Structure 1
């Protein structure tokens, strides 16, 4: 009960701050105060506007809100997300481009379950849609999942990914972003052992902790310092009253958000105050740069406790993937069993979450895969977010990934002999700063 009380206390604090923001906005905007102009009242209303929006966004799931895709027929085709496969802890979501024929490139984007919704990869999806049919793993907020649905740990996550790949069939290309990289590698190896025909054609791992010990970061240092008992006592709470998942043990999204913000508190505080000033002088807008970023950043979801704890215990502390000792329901998963799936790793030179070396370690585990099907790339100036959603992704990484997919598709992928956006297909050439395999 004490953990439920703590969960409800956090939600009460969030609600209270949202209410204070709404009250300040209302009072500062009263017409009576316009009779005697006072900058303080404008600042009060602006502070309330920004505060209310910030705290309300913490419990709102963002919309995908994807722009129409221009087609070769000269028309703009609307994008409609639809559930292709429903599961209690996460759905397989397909982005149907209305009026467009199916694309030969079929991509499954494995989004992280790390505190934010899959919409964190919105720009990644948007950049791939003009050239491919795209599916994404849409993980659910644990606070909305009844206790009767049972547990969800790293083994269940791996089985979900294997099921999604089976559902989509072998003519598939998988891209895993950050946290799911090691488990996506394990899911592919599971298919190699149990259902080889269901394996994807290619697997691209972007900035994931396959071997956390390969390069130290604050994340890996934290994992070494704390014990599992300390984590369970300090991070895990039970979903409170009023939620569908009442009683379920979770790593609360609000607690995760507090940790995120504390890492760069001064930067976030400055951004908040600058937005207040812009709101006060009328230069802020509903979809300005600040709101676009923080509407997504502040939208957090609860993570199942068993998933969070098993990730720390087995992936970071136990190094089960890094040492090829991972098991699923008692069955040993041999990553060396992957012999046909082409694998590429992508890392950012300035990634402070999954530092260079952690992801490329996957290639050493692929002992059954010929070197011709292995590739790696290091983007020297990119940080963690930039390698899958920033400028580095758009300018450099995305074209390389699509070339890698085409080179290992098993047949000419683009229709009518054309490549990305109508350009002739050229054999991919790894850039000079690709890491040697």
Structure 2
């Protein structure tokens, strides 16, 4: 029995790889990169020459399980169930997302799932977790459309932001128009639908957003966008940082998650009897997300540096509240101009997060809200920092990790091994920076993401 599969059997994967090998060879591709994201939010990769794509698709390539406990500095945490230096996994590429890389000639990329040697899914696989949560939504007759904004700071070889022109300013756009055009061309050349590309607030900061997809696909696309931006930047002699904070007193790199809940082709965030057109299921789902936000920060704001970004009155969503088009609320409701555009934005997550953990965790929280029939609290219509009653989200990694440790919905959804691995990594990251200044934290993580 072939257990190493989600939608394709081993034979189907081999056939798919043979067809892809022929096509990629014709396009001048020499090798394929398989990527996954660890619990610290770092992308790890292995690659094979094109001639090895078929056996890699059939049987996977070796991948050490110890990376489940890797920290952002490549040191390791420990857990009672961790394997340490022993054991091995199989990294199996998802060839449905196989993409020639426009900014890395001769290379293609595919996201990968991780399996045990006997072909069973690895319980610590973050992409597998996101898929399980998406399937749980689908069993309710529902679906989710999602997208994650990608923000980054681009710097010169010395690490100085490449532009200090005004936020959203045309002068910043003009200074880097050739660079941004190549980013746009590379993304669209890889089959992505770019919605917006613009300068952001901080020095050297830009943002791109792409069309919504299913949750797992949106996480895959987020990784592809980040890889592409980094590669284009390197071709221009520039460095990229996705770190939550690049420098003190500057706005950081968010990883805002947009999502909408659907049933039978209808967006449940539009045209309903509830506040701002919400249908009951959409309100219950969003109420579940809002309820679990303190714990979800351990997934979506995973670094000590994340909490230097997550401060009031800086568009980061530092308070547990919701509001229509309220950019200081952690959960921003967006009605849009059409039914298809209505969505909710989770603003408190940042670009250091593993996007598979983010989408899976949010789906799990939303389903818990549906199960409990939760309702959204009163809407916040102003900057919550001006209200005595506003509830601040955790202001440090230890606080968020404490909330995560108490979250029954996340514990159930993640499963023991992945839950414990995330907990161990967060505790170890917090301990690593316990005695560091803000400047030390920023310096330590600036080029790790």
TM over 0.5: no
Give the number of the structure whose alpha-carbon radius of gyration is greater: 1
**Higher percent of residues as strand:** 2
* TM-score, scaled to structure 1: 0.27
* TM-score, scaled to structure 2: 0.26
